[in-house]
Amino acid sequence: MDNNIISEEELTALLATINRNEEAYQHTINSEKRHALLFAPYNISFNEYRILAYLMIHPDESEPSRIADYLMILRQTMTILLDGLQKRGLVERIPHPNDRRRVCIGLLPEGRELILRLLCLERDYTLRLRSHFSPEEVKLYHELSARMAAAKISELEIILAERNEK
Q: Find the domain containing 158 and state its range.
A: 133-166
In sequence order, what DSSP letters do the residues of 61-83 get, joined into one string? ---HHHHHHHHT--HHHHHHHHH
52 within 8 A of 90, measured Cβ to Cβ: yes
Report the half-sphere exposure of 148 (CA within 13 A, side-chain side).
8
What are the pLDDT digits (tens) for 26-61?
766 677 788 888 899 999 998 999 999 999 999 887
What is the rounded distance in angstroms from the CA atom of residue 123 to the CA atom of residue 115?
12
Shared domain check, 140 and 117: no
Shared domain check, 119 and 85: yes
Angle at 60 between CA 96 and CA 71, to 5 degrees: 100
Shared domain check, 156 and 99: no
What are the pLDDT digits (tens) for 2-21?
556 878 887 787 777 777 76
What is the rounded distance in angstroms from the CA atom of residue 81 to the CA atom of residue 87?
10
Shared domain check, 78 and 158: no
The CATH number of the domain holding residue 69 is 1.10.10.10
Shared domain check, 102 and 51: yes
**pTM exceeding 0.85:** no
Q: Is the dihedral of CA 129, 130, 131, 133 positive or negative?
A: positive
What are the pLDDT digits (tens) for 104-156?
999 999 999 999 999 999 899 889 989 999 999 999 988 998 898 889 889 98
